[in-house]
Amino acid sequence: MTMTISEQAFNDLCQEVEATAQADPNDPLDVTYAYPATLGQGVTRVIQLRSGLGIEIFQGRIYQHHRVQYSEDPGWLEYHFHLLGQHIDTHTMVGDKEYALYGSGSAPREIRDAPEQQALEVQIYLQPEALQGFVSNRSGQLPSSLQHLIRPVSQEIYTRVAKLTPGMESILWQIVRCGHQGVLKRLYLEGKALELMSLVLEQESEIQTGQRAVKSLNAGTLERIHYAKTLLLLDVQAPPSLPELARQAKLNEYTLKRGFKQVFGTPVFVYLHQYRLEQARHLLEQGHLSVSEVMTAVGLSDRQYFAASFRKKFGFSPREYLMQYRSC
């Protein structure tokens, strides 16, 4: 059952969360807050890097599906990166391995829906002046391809959702796992935040200027590409080879490889590997199978390779991840 939280109740929760604040002894601008116990278990870490730029990291498990109503501050630009979990709000629907870009402008009434889930989300937020300071020209103006990101409060904010690229995902894990302290930590995290911003803004600029336009696939080819994906995932323990997959989908190999990457953003067997890892994660969360049994279930046999791939993607070894759920 979904819990609906009014703006007043949301404000009350925020006050409860503020009371749990624990600052880093070596950095008063690095503060960790406990997630409301009525909704789940986890922590939110807020790090103010410089004036107008900060990072927020949420990691935990949401037990209570909830919908929050609140008034949004329209003065900030935000980047939401989901390594795990999903949310739906007034403007976007963001899933696993996706990010959302929010410009500044009018967002007077927000509704955010969060289902029961394990979640790991990194947010970067900055004021318009900070963005202008980073990317404006000598006259203080943003490039024309980015000017729509900063709007007056009389205009609705700009939003866009897209898949995380491998480069983005790598930087996000570096942020989450950052072990530096003091000044070095702040310099490191600021550099990583700017790297992420540059990747997002590069995509945004290419979209606005038409540089990311790709040759469209005809309806028949598109249907066969989707059919190929279905065939690929039908038996992950014994998937077809690329030639066999192309034959079954009635495509030549070149069209299959090119079209699959165009539609799903990754090569065929990279997609399969990522799917196997996601399935392994779900099986480990259930806590009923051993790591070896999970490997067999998803069609993997090299334990060392599986462990390395899983850690790279999720930040934990398979055994560490399993123990989190068996201890619950």
pLDDT single digits (tens) 271-282: 899 889 989 988
pLDDT in tens, 302-315: 899 899 889 888 88
- Band the pLDDT of 51: cuts 50, 70, 90: confident
Helix (H, G, I), strand (E, B) or coil at 313: helix
DSSP state of 143: P
Burial classification of residue 21, based on how many CB atoms lie within 10 Å of its CB (0-12 exposed, 13-18 middle, 19 or more buried): exposed
Taking the CB of residue 179, how many other CB atoms lie within 10 A of it? Answer: 7
- Band the pLDDT of 74: cuts 50, 70, 90: low
Q: Which residues contact 9 (CB under 8 A, 6 or more apart)?
A: none
- State if pTM tops 0.85: no
Please report the domains of the chain, with CATH numbers, ordered by start residue.
Answer: 3-209 (2.60.120.10), 219-326 (1.10.10.60)
| Tokens, residue 324 | 């989190």
The whole-number pLDDT of residue 188 equals 93
Burial classification of residue 120, based on how many CB atoms lie within 10 Å of its CB (0-12 exposed, 13-18 middle, 19 or more buried): buried
Inter-residue contact 23 to 31 (CB < 8 Å): yes
Inter-residue contact 307 to 318 (CB < 8 Å): yes
21 pLDDT above the threshold of 90: yes
24 pLDDT above the threshold of 60: yes
215 pLDDT above the threshold of 60: no
CA–CA separation, 104 and 258 (whole Å): 37
| Tokens, residue 292 | 């070896």
328 pLDDT above the threshold of 70: no
Taking the CB of residue 138, how many other CB atoms lie within 10 A of it? Answer: 5
pLDDT in tens, 85-106: 988 877 778 888 899 999 998 7
CA–CA separation, 94 and 96 (whole Å): 7
CA–CA separation, 169 and 163 (whole Å): 10
